C-alpha cells in the first residue's frame, strides 16, 4: 500500500474516532466526580492566573501533575470554561493515540493490519469512554503511544537524535500527565527488547544519558517550583498517597481479585469483546517472532503492573490496548481466520445481545418515568452489534461489527448521553440559584464536584443542620438549595 494512501486512510480512521469522542460533549454536563474535579481545577487556574499549583474549590489538588490542567485551560481560551472545552484535550488525544497506533502497526504487522488495529482501538469502548471525559487517561495513552513509536523506530535501527528528542519528550510529557506509569511501560518495553536480544538496545550509551537530560529539562522546572510553592507537600502527597498507597491498599473501595482485568476485558474491549482473548493467545503463540515482541511486552507490562496493584479500575490497563488492537488487527487482515475465531465471535455476539437487552430492561426499570427513546435506540444498536458478530462466517464480518459499533458509539454521544441530562441534579440547582435575586449562594445536603464546576465555585456548602439553622437565622440575604426530604 502506498504511503500516502495509508496515511489518508489512517487519518480518516483517527478522524472518525475524534468525531465519536467529541459528539454531544457540549450537550452533556460533567459526570461526577472525577470530571468536574479536573475541569474545575483548570478553571481555577485560568481564574487565578496560578498555573503552577492545581486547586479544586480553593484547596490544593495533589491527584495529578499539571499537564492535563494546562491543556484544559488552553481549551477554555477558545470555548470558555464549559464541558466541551474540558473534554476537548481528551478527544484530540484519543485521535492522536489512534493515529500513532496505526503508524506502529504499519512498522510491526503491516499496513492493512495497522489500519485495522487503529480502527479496532478507535471503536474500543474503554478508549471511547476515556476520550469523551474530562480526565487524564486519553492524554496519557497518546504520550505512551508516542514513546512507543520512538522505541520501535530505535529498535529497528532508525533512531536519530530527532527520534530521541521525540521519544524522551513524550515520556516527559507523560510524567507531567500521570506520573510514573509511562516510564514503566515505555522503559519496560525498551528494556525487555534488550533482554530479548536479536536487535540493538533502543537507547544505548550516550543517547540514554541525553534522553535523561531531555526528560529532566522538561519535568524538573515544574517539580522544583511546585515543591517550593507547597513547602514540599506536593510530591509527598502525590507519590506517597496517590501512588504508593494506591498500589498497597484499595483506595475508595476500588478492589478486585487477581483476574479482575481479564474479567473486565470483554466490556472494556467491546465491541471486539472476547476476541481480545483470541488476540492475546495469538500474540503469545507468536512470541518468538520479532514483530510480536514489542506488542507482547507493551501488553504484558500494564496488565502485570495493575494486577499487582491493590486499587483496581477498568481503565488502568488502557495503556495496553493499542498492542491488543494491533494483535487483533493482524488476525483480521490475514487471509484466513484461526480455528477459535467462530467460537469467540459468537460468544462476543451473545455478549452484545445481553448488553442490549440489559440496557433496555435496566433503563426502563431504573430511570424515573421510564427510559428515553434514545436509550432504546442505543439498545437496538447494541443488538445489531450482536447480530453482526453472529455473521462470523461472512467475509465482511469484521466490517459489519465495526459499522454497527460506530453507529452505536455515535448514538451514545449524540443522543443517549444527552437524553440523560434531566436526571442530573447539579445543572437545575445552579439554574435555580442563578434565577434568584443576587445574594450569597449555599447548598445543604448535596455538594458534588459538578455543582462546584457548574456554579464556577460560587456556591458554598452548608455542612450540617446546626450551620443551616444559623444560616436561616442570619439577617443577610442568601439563596440555598436543599433536598425535598430536608425541606
Query: Is the confidence at residue 143, as pLDDT, over 90?
Result: yes
The answer for residues whose C-beta is within 8 angstroms of residue 68's C-beta and 6 or more apart is 38, 42, 89, 135, 136, 139, 177
Q: Grid coordinates standing for 349?
A: 455476539
Distance CA 132, CA 25 (A): 7
pLDDT-derived band of residue 206, with 50, 70 and 90 as boundaries? confident
**Least confident residue range of 6-15, 188-197, 287-296, 330-339:** 188-197
**What pLDDT, on a 0 to 100 scale, did the predictor assign at position 366?**
84
Q: Answer yes or no: is 63 within a domain.
A: yes
Distance CA 70, CA 47 (A): 13
Interhelix angle 3-22/83-108, rounded to 10 degrees, is 150
Find the mean pLDDT for residues 158-184. 95
Distance CA 168, CA 38 (A): 26
Q: Grid coordinates standing for 106?
A: 504499519
pTM: 0.96
Domain boundary among 302, 333, 364: 333
Nearest CA-CA partner of 276 in 125, 406, 384: 125
Domain boundary among 308, 333, 358: 333
Domain count, the chain: 3
Q: Are residues 42 and 157 in the same domain?
A: yes
- Evaluate whether 245 touches 258 at the Cβ level (below 8 Å): no
Beta carbons within 10 angstroms of residue 3's beta carbon: 9
Q: Are residues 286 and 434 in the same domain?
A: no
Q: Are residues 164 and 257 in the same domain?
A: yes
C-alpha separations of 280 from 181, 272, 276 in Å: 22, 12, 6
Domain boundary among 313, 333, 353: 333
Q: Are residues 374 and 469 in the same domain?
A: no
Q: Which residue has the higher pLDDT, 69 or 158?
A: 69
Q: pLDDT tens-digit profile of 268-321? A: 999 999 999 999 999 999 999 999 999 999 999 999 999 999 999 999 999 999
Q: Answer yes or no: is 221 within a domain.
A: yes
Q: Are residues 320 and 371 in the same domain?
A: no
How large a percentage of the chain has pLDDT more than 70? 98
Q: In the 8-state DSSP scheme, what is residue 440?
A: E
Q: Are residues 174 and 323 in the same domain?
A: yes
Q: Are residues 57 and 135 in the same domain?
A: yes
Structural domain including 474 reads 426-481
Q: Answer yes or no: is 486 within a domain.
A: no
Element housing 248 (H / E): helix 246-248
**Torsion angle defined by CA atoms of residues 191, 193, 198 and 204, in that order, rounded to the nearest 10 degrees:** -40
**Total residues belonging to the chain:** 487
Q: Answer yes or no: is 110 within a domain.
A: yes
Q: Are residues 223 and 74 in the same domain?
A: yes
**What pLDDT, on a 0 to 100 scale, did the predictor assign at position 451?**
97
- Evaluate whether 274 touches 343 at the Cβ level (below 8 Å): no
Residue 246 CB-half CA count within 13 A: 16
Q: Are residues 170 and 312 in the same domain?
A: yes
Q: Are residues 353 and 240 in the same domain?
A: no
**Torsion angle defined by CA atoms of residues 242, 263, 392 and 343, in that order, rounded to the nearest 10 degrees:** 150
Q: Answer yes or no: is 487 within a domain.
A: no
**What pLDDT, on a 0 to 100 scale, did the predictor assign at position 207?**
83
Q: Are residues 308 and 375 in the same domain?
A: no
**What pLDDT, on a 0 to 100 scale, did the predictor assign at position 41?**
99
Amino acid at each position: 500500500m502506498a504511503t500516502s494512501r495509508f496515511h489518508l486512510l489512517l487519518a480518516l480512521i483517527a478522524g472518525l474516532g475524534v468525531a465519536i469522542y467529541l459528539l454531544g460533549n457540549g450537550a452533556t454536563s460533567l459526570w461526577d466526580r472525577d470530571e468536574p474535579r479536573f475541569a474545575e481545577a483548570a478553571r481555577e487556574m485560568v481564574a487565578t492566573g496560578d498555573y503552577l499549583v492545581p486547586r479544586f474549590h480553593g484547596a490544593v489538588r495533589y491527584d495529578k501533575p499539571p499537564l492535563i490542567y494546562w491543556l484544559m485551560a488552553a481549551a477554555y481560551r477558545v470555548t470558555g470554561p464549559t464541558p466541551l472545552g474540558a473534554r476537548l484535550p481528551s478527544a484530540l488525544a484519543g485521535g492522536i493515540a489512534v493515529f500513532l497506533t496505526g503508524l506502529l502497526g504499519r512498522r510491526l504487522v503491516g499496513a492493512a493490519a495497522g489500519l485495522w488495529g487503529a480502527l479496532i482501538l478507535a471503536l474500543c469502548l474503554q478508549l471511547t469512554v476515556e476520550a469523551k471525559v474530562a480526565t487524564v487517561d486519553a492524554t496519557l495513552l497518546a504520550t505512551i503511544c508516542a514513546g512507543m513509536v520512538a522505541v520501535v523506530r530505535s529498535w529497528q535501527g532508525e533512531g536519530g537524535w530527532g527520534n530521541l528528542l521525540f521519544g524522551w519528550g513524550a515520556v516527559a510529557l507523560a510524567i507531567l500527565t500521570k506520573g510514573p506509569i509511562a516510564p514503566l511501560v515505555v522503559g519496560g518495553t525498551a528494556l525487555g527488547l534488550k533482554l530479548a536480544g536479536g536487535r540493538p538496545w533502543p537507547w544505548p550509551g550516550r543517547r540514554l544519558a541525553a534522553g535523561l537530560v531531555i526528560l529532566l529539562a522538561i519535568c524538573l522546572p515544574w517539580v522544583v517550583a511546585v515543591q517550593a510553592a507547597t513547602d514540599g507537600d506536593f510530591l509527598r502527597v502525590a507519590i506517597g498517597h496517590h501512588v504508593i498507597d494506591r498500589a498497597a491498599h484499595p483506595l475508595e473501595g476500588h478492589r478486585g481479585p487477581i483476574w479482575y482485568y481479564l474479567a473486565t476485558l470483554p466490556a472494556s474491549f467491546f465491541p471486539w469483546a472476547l476476541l481480545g482473548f483470541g488476540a492475546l493467545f495469538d500474540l503469545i503463540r507468536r512470541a518468538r517472532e520479532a514483530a510480536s515482541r514489542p506488542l507482547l511486552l507493551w501488553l504484558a507490562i500494564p496488565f502485570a503492573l495493575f494486577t499487582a496493584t491493590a486499587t483496581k479500575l477498568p481503565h488502568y490497563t488502557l495503556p495496553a490496548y493499542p498492542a491488543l488492537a494491533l494483535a487483533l488487527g493482524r488476525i483480521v487482515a490475514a487471509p484466513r481466520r484461526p480455528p477459535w475465531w467462530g467460537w469467540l465471535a459468537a460468544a462476543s455476539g451473545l455478549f452484545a445481545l445481553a448488553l442490549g437487552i440489559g440496557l433496555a430492561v435496566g433503563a426502563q426499570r431504573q430511570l424515573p418515568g421510564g427510559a428515553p427513546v434514545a436509550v432504546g435506540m442505543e439498545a437496538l444498536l447494541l443488538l445489531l452489534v450482536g447480530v453482526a458478530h453472529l455473521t462470523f462466517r461472512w467475509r465482511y464480518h469484521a466490517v459489519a461489527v465495526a459499522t454497527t459499533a460506530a453507529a452505536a458509539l455515535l448514538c451514545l454521544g449524540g443522543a443517549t448521553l444527552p437524553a440523560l441530562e434531566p436526571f442530573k441534579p447539579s445543572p437545575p440547582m445552579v439554574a435555580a440559584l442563578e434565577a434568584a435575586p443576587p445574594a450569597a449562594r449555599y447548598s445543604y445536603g448535596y455538594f458534588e464536584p459538578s455543582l462546584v464546576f457548574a456554579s464556577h465555585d460560587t456556591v458554598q456548602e452548608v455542612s450540617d443542620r446546626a450551620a443551616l439553622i444559623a444560616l436561616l437565622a442570619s439577617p443577610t440575604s442568601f439563596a440555598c438549595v436543599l433536598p425535598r426530604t430536608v425541606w
